[in-house]
A = this chain, B = another copy of it.
Amino acid sequence: MSNSNRQFRLAARPQGLLAPGDLQFVETPIPPVADGQALARVRYLSMDPTMRIWMADVPQYMPPVAFGDVMRCLGLAEVMESRHSRYKKGDKLVGLTGLQDYLFIDGTENRPYQKVPPVPFMSDTAFLGVLGVTGLTAYFGMMDIAKPQPGETLVVSAAAGATGSIAGQIGKIHGCRVVGIAGGSEKCKWLTDGLGFDAGIDYKRSDWKNQLAAATPKGIDINFENVGGEIMNATLARMNLHGRVVLCGLISGYTKEQPSLASFGTVLIKRLRIQGFIISDYADKFAEGISQLGKWKAFGKLKDRETIVEGLEKVPDAINMLFTGGNIGKLIVKL
């Protein structure tokens, strides 16, 4: 075990994609573990679009990361040494580990880290993806807000991403016609051939809006929206009366100075219901969600995929991959 800790600290608020220097790579000594403290080695880091929001000085659902602070990040860490009553050596913990090699638990944390249960045939990384925050986001967005009914048409944007791919499959489990929007033929092929979506629309093709129309002959009842902007506008334009929009993300705007704008006119004329949604509001119900997602996965009804990048130093590039479409499924950095 090293006695120094490599960390990424926030040094500048990015303009657009992350640039070198926005995150400062530093090495700090690890203090000895005292009573009530624990030290854990970070094994996996979860790359999530919301990290880009946390880096920006804009109104948001948690405080923006301050300059000089270790960059906030979800991850999975293994306890190496513990003098904390809650944790013992070997425990695998999920929570906000930060972008660093070691998580030092000093006992002042507001919320405990969640222990990964030993589930046969389930990889640890599943607890960052399909059984983690991204899977839970899909679960509660679909089950609590969209409430899909058999025969309805569901359109998911960023459909080949960690959340979109699960949301679409939950739609299939409930008997929906499911159309995914993603960038590139490989992703679209995975949606249909790998996950059983009824159609995959490649928004990089010039005729994608016609394809979306052809794939939704009965209009759209539910939009699980992760992207915003032009993709959202095209989807809203095909919504049926009284359709529901689960507003889960607006990733197309996260790297822009000016957010993607939209007209509320369609919302009015079509009497749509739009519900903005952040997974942290469902923290009290995570156990229910993990249990159901785990059953679906165990019975082969839910497939997940990961894109693994190796090495802490690759994190800035990995974050940018989320916005340039580089990953399929859950993007994870392995340390």
Write the A267-282 contact mask toward B (1 if CB under 8 angstroms, else 0).
Answer: 1111111111110010
Assess whether B250 is in contact with A265, with CB atoms less than 8 Å apart: yes
Assess whether B228 is in contact with A269, with CB atoms less than 8 Å apart: no
Assess whether A60 is in contact with B253, with CB atoms less than 8 Å apart: no
Cβ contacts under 8 Å, A267 to chain B? 247, 274, 276
Report if A264-B59 is in contact (Cβ < 8 Å); known contacts: A273-B273, A281-B271.
Answer: no
Cβ contacts under 8 Å, A271 to chain B? 61, 275-278, 281
Assess whether A273 is in contact with B276, with CB atoms less than 8 Å apart: yes
User: Chain B residue with minimal CB distance to A232?
Assistant: B264
Stretch of A106-114, A119-127, A255-263 contacting B (4+ beta carbons < 8 Å): A255-263
Cβ contacts under 8 Å, A242 to chain B? 281
Tell me which of A248, A250, A263, A265 has the highest count of chain B C-beta atoms within 10 A of its own C-beta: A265
Please report the C-alpha to C-alpha distance between residue A269 and residue B269 in the assembled complex, in whole angstroms.
24
Please report the C-alpha to C-alpha distance between residue A274 and residue B264 in the assembled complex, in whole angstroms.
10
User: Chain B residue with minimal CB distance to A242?
Assistant: B281
Determine if A183 is an interface residue (Cβ-Cβ < 8 Å): no
Report if A262-B261 is in contact (Cβ < 8 Å); known contacts: A271-B276, A276-B271.
Answer: yes
Report if A268-B250 is in contact (Cβ < 8 Å); known contacts: A259-B263, A262-B262, A263-B259.
Answer: yes
Shortest CB distance A257–B (Å):
12
User: Chain B residue with minimal CB distance to A262?
Assistant: B264
Q: How many copies does the complex hold?
A: 2
Instruction: State which of B264, B268, B273, B277 has its C-beta within 8 Å of the C-beta of A268.
Output: B277
How many interface residues does A have (CB within 8 Å)? 32
Determine if A129 is an interface residue (Cβ-Cβ < 8 Å): no
Cβ contacts under 8 Å, A253 to chain B? 263, 265
Assess whether B274 is in contact with A274, with CB atoms less than 8 Å apart: yes
Assess whether B259 is in contact with A265, with CB atoms less than 8 Å apart: yes
Cβ contacts under 8 Å, A272 to chain B? 274-276
Assess whether B269 is in contact with A59, with CB atoms less than 8 Å apart: yes
User: Chain B residue with minimal CB distance to A145?
Assistant: B273
Determine if A249 is an interface residue (Cβ-Cβ < 8 Å): yes
Please report the C-alpha to C-alpha distance between residue A60 and residue B270 in the assembled complex, in whole angstroms.
8
Instruction: State which of B59, B232, B273 has its C-beta within 8 Å of the C-beta of A275.
Output: B273
Please report the C-alpha to C-alpha distance between residue A148 and residue B259 in the assembled complex, in whole angstroms.
31
Shortest CB distance A133–B (Å):
16
Assess whether A264 is in contact with B250, with CB atoms less than 8 Å apart: yes
Cβ contacts under 8 Å, A247 to chain B? 264, 267-268
Please report the C-alpha to C-alpha distance between residue A248 and residue B253 in the assembled complex, in whole angstroms.
27
Shortest CB distance A162–B (Å):
17
Write the A4-35 contact mask toward B (1 if CB under 8 angstroms, else 0).
Answer: 00000000000000000000000000000000
Chain A stretch 26-53: residues in CB contact (< 8 A) with chain B? none
Give me 25 A-to-B residue pairs in the complex whose CB atoms sit less than 8 angstroms apart, sorted by A's number: A59-B266, A60-B269, A61-B271, A247-B264, A248-B268, A250-B265, A250-B268, A260-B263, A261-B263, A262-B263, A262-B264, A267-B274, A268-B276, A268-B278, A269-B276, A271-B276, A271-B278, A271-B281, A272-B274, A272-B276, A273-B273, A273-B274, A273-B275, A273-B276, A274-B275
The 6 closest A-B pairs by CB, nearest first: A261-B261, A267-B276, A274-B274, A268-B276, A259-B263, A271-B276
